[in-house]
Amino acid sequence: MKTPHFYPTTRTHYAHIIIMTSERAHHTPRKEQGGNGGVNTTTLKPAKPPRDSSSSGGKLSNSSKNNGNDNINGNHREKGETISSTTLTTNTTTTDNRGGGGGGVSGAKVEQTRSHHHYSHRDVHHHHHEKSSPNERILKSIHDLYERGPNGNQPGSVGILEIAKDPLLNVTCWKPRKKVSVLIIGNHSAGKSSFINWYIDESIQTTGVAIETRGFTYVTSGRKRESLKGDATFAFYDHLDGLERFEGIQANVFTEVSTSKEKNFPAIDFIDTPGLVDGEMEYPFDVSAAILWLADHVDLVLVFFDPIGQALCGRTMKVIEALNEKHAEKLSYYMSKADQVEKEHDRQRVLIQITQNLSGRINNSHAFKLPTIYLPNEQNSTANIPNALSEVCEDIDKAIRLTVQKNLTAMKDDCARIDRKVVEVLEEDKLKRAENVKRSMRGAALLALSWVFIFFMTFVAFVELFAFRFVGNFVRRHVMPRCNDFFAAILMGMLPSEVDEVGRSKFSAMQRWGGVRRRYVFGGALLGYILVTHVKNVVWTLNKVLTKKEQARMQAYRTYLQGLLKIRSNLYSEYFKQLHTL
């Protein structure tokens, strides 16, 4: 197996890697365990870029249905196919428009300015993208590099996860999600579902004064409008396995797939939560514990307070306090439906009440903000009320940017950990081979010593055998006459020197060496041989070393990881380019 080579090719908008392996004749399932696992990589070369295809933004696209179960060569290691050339395309910049604005409450002092931009109907389309944004493409590219490698679903493409799971490496890596998760919580009728509908410009969530949302609803972007319930949602989001432990929750988790491409929605998974209320309201599951669990797996938590509802209900405050202890950096607070409070001093009073109630429950109260927001419509289009709706969009956009940076950093760290493990495996293999050489030399020396014992025991056995009268006479009369002088002299030396008239040796002392009978000498030699053989077997136990194919595979991994890091550099370049266009 030839050592692989990687030749990165960078053109204006593309970074490419191609993997090719030798031709084989039959298809056999790839083994997940054992020394034959891993990637049979022989050549890594540049390839021509394919036609550009934008990401679907949703998990229901044809390129994303395998839920991360692809192996290195699809679902089977194909013994015999010629793996074709494919490429990874990383296109550069599309302007990522951002909404501006900000303001709200700071500390215990409530300040409400009118410098916020009013969100009009024209602003609704301010973030609209005809094409996928750079951040969306980068997130999807990183996800694909982990799941399927730079060549997508084509045979021979190697994902980072598949390399990490090689039996020789066993490095633990977590696949980054290709979308940012935004959890929206708040009291009953705080406008959570309405905000999602506004953001995606589609009435996908039911809204109203009654408690409409009794479970958790994932709202995501895809190629086809679809609704998923219960078990289908858990199958769709494989990272939700731990959520199933909450009794009664499986039937109350849903997914709504929208075809909307508004703002940055293709890069977002919204999670709409049940409205939090006190009193006799019963949930079919532990809603507070479920929210805390979800907060561990999201990138941003938006907290909406309804100024005319139960904004200060005990359940809401307890959940916020628990969230602040672990995820203070993820939380952003807003007073929603500000247009429904007509008088300025009433809004100020509500803001002060919410701020005072939260100040003793959150850790970062000195930097606390509580901007007012409301959804634009014809009735409030002329309202002179500060609207920080653009700030909510900016918080979401900031979460996307931070997630892009986090995923790029995680990719570098994972590649570095895998590379270190590869180096460790190769170095350990070198040490084992050196140790095997030493063990072989010691074993060979002990083997030679055991043969000395064998020759000595053979000599003693013949001497003892020839001491018998009939054997000695037979050798003298029948064997020695037929031997040449050399062998005759050897036999004569092993025979008793003199015998009496009845053929018995006159020198019975010849049966003793140093006063020890020869049969005892033979027994001692036999014990010595057994001991030396045992020590030889212990010493001459060789360590298991890598085969040539496994060594070549490890070297191919190192080269391949270097290529992935170059792709990462190109993704960073694409990320930086958009900063100049914002």
- Over 70: is that where the pLDDT of 447 sits? yes
- Over 60: is that where the pLDDT of 68 sits? no
Mean pLDDT, the chain, integer: 75
- Over 80: is that where the pLDDT of 232 sits? yes
On whether the CB atoms of residues 256 and 204 are closer than 8 A, the answer is yes
Q: How confident is the model at residue 301 (pLDDT cuts 50, 70, 90)?
A: very high
| Cα–Cα distance for residue pair 269/252, rounded to 1 Å | 17
Asked whether residue 466 falls in the same domain as residue 571, the answer is: no
Q: How confident is the model at residue 567 (pLDDT cuts 50, 70, 90)?
A: very high
Structure confidence at residue 560 (pLDDT): 92
| Chain segment 110-169, per-residue pLDDT in tens | 333 333 444 443 343 344 444 678 899 999 999 999 988 888 777 767 899 999 999 999
The mean per-residue pLDDT over the stretch 313-341 comes to 88
Lowest mean pLDDT among 190-194, 515-519, 548-552: 515-519
- Amino acid letter, residue 56: S
Residue among 195, 204, 240 at smallest CA distance from 222: 204
Q: How confident is the model at residue 558 (pLDDT cuts 50, 70, 90)?
A: very high
Asked whether residue 410 falls in the same domain as residue 446, the answer is: no
Structure confidence at residue 31 (pLDDT): 37
Whole-Å CA distances, 280 to 307, 310, 501? 22, 14, 125
Residue among 169, 167, 172 at smallest CA distance from 146: 172
Structure confidence at residue 261 (pLDDT): 92
Kindly state the helix (H) or strand (E) to which residue 580 belongs, with its residue range.
none
Secondary structure (3-state) at 535: helix
| Cα–Cα distance for residue pair 481/458, rounded to 1 Å | 23
Structure confidence at residue 311 (pLDDT): 60
The residue that leads in pLDDT, 507 or 382, is 382
Q: How confident is the model at residue 449 (pLDDT cuts 50, 70, 90)?
A: very high
The mean per-residue pLDDT over the stretch 61-89 comes to 36
Asked whether residue 448 falls in the same domain as residue 482, the answer is: yes
- Over 60: is that where the pLDDT of 541 sits? yes
| Cα–Cα distance for residue pair 468/473, rounded to 1 Å | 9
| Cα–Cα distance for residue pair 74/72, rounded to 1 Å | 6
| Cα–Cα distance for residue pair 269/217, rounded to 1 Å | 10
Asked whether residue 563 falls in the same domain as residue 438, the answer is: no
The mean per-residue pLDDT over the stretch 257-285 comes to 88
Residue 126 sits in which domain range? Answer: 9-173+404-429+554-579
Q: How confident is the model at residue 72 (pLDDT cuts 50, 70, 90)?
A: very low
Secondary structure (3-state) at 418: helix
* Burial (CB count within 10 angstroms: exposed 0-12, middle 13-18, buried 19+), residue 85: middle
Tell me how many domains the chain contains: 2
3-state secondary structure 126-182: CCCCCCCCHHHHHHHHHHHHHHCCCCCCCCCCCCHHHHHCCCCCCCCCCCCCCCEEE
The residue that leads in pLDDT, 468 or 67, is 468
| Chain segment 366-383, per-residue pLDDT in tens | 567 889 999 988 776 767
Residue among 334, 398, 455, 349 at smallest CA distance from 582: 398
**Domain assignment of residue 397, yes or no:** no
Q: How confident is the model at residue 283 (pLDDT cuts 50, 70, 90)?
A: confident
**Domain assignment of residue 20, yes or no:** yes
**Domain assignment of residue 30, yes or no:** yes
Range list of H helices, 210-313:
231-236, 287-295
- Over 70: is that where the pLDDT of 63 sits? no
**Domain assignment of residue 386, yes or no:** no
On whether the CB atoms of residues 21 and 151 are closer than 8 A, the answer is no
**Domain assignment of residue 361, yes or no:** no
Tokens of 71: 């192996």
Structure confidence at residue 120 (pLDDT): 41
Q: Which residue has the tokens 């399927």?
A: 148
Question: What is the per-residue burial (b if ≥16 Cβ within 10 Å, else e) of 181-207?
Answer: bbbbbbbbbbbbbbbbbbbbbbebbeb
Asked whether residue 455 falls in the same domain as residue 566, the answer is: no
> With left for phi above 0 and alpha for psi between -120 and 50, is residue 104 left, alpha or beta?
left
Asked whether residue 91 falls in the same domain as residue 129, the answer is: yes
Structure confidence at residue 489 (pLDDT): 82
Asked whether residue 568 falls in the same domain as residue 466, the answer is: no
Asked whether residue 444 falls in the same domain as residue 421, the answer is: no
Secondary structure (3-state) at 15: strand
The mean per-residue pLDDT over the stretch 253-260 comes to 93
Q: How confident is the model at residue 299 (pLDDT cuts 50, 70, 90)?
A: very high
Percent of the chain's residues with pLDDT above 70: 70
Asked whether residue 160 falls in the same domain as residue 91, the answer is: yes
Angle between helices 548-579 and 389-466 (to 10 degrees): 170
- Over 70: is that where the pLDDT of 298 sits? yes
| Chain segment 13-33, per-residue pLDDT in tens | 333 333 333 333 333 333 333
Going 427 to 433 to 435 to 438, the CA torsion angle's sign is negative
Asked whether residue 505 falls in the same domain as residue 570, the answer is: no
**Domain assignment of residue 395, yes or no:** no
The mean per-residue pLDDT over the stretch 184-192 comes to 88
- Over 90: is that where the pLDDT of 76 sits? no
The mean per-residue pLDDT over the stretch 235-247 comes to 87
Structure confidence at residue 365 (pLDDT): 57
Structure confidence at residue 530 (pLDDT): 94
Structure confidence at residue 38 (pLDDT): 52
Residue among 533, 405, 347, 418 at smallest CA distance from 166: 418
Asked whether residue 32 falls in the same domain as residue 124, the answer is: yes
User: pTM for this structure?
Assistant: 0.67
**Domain assignment of residue 525, yes or no:** yes
Q: How confident is the model at residue 213 (pLDDT cuts 50, 70, 90)?
A: low
Asked whether residue 67 falls in the same domain as residue 30, the answer is: yes
Residue 460 neighbours by CB under 8 Å, 6+ apart:
518, 521, 522, 525
**Domain assignment of residue 333, yes or no:** no
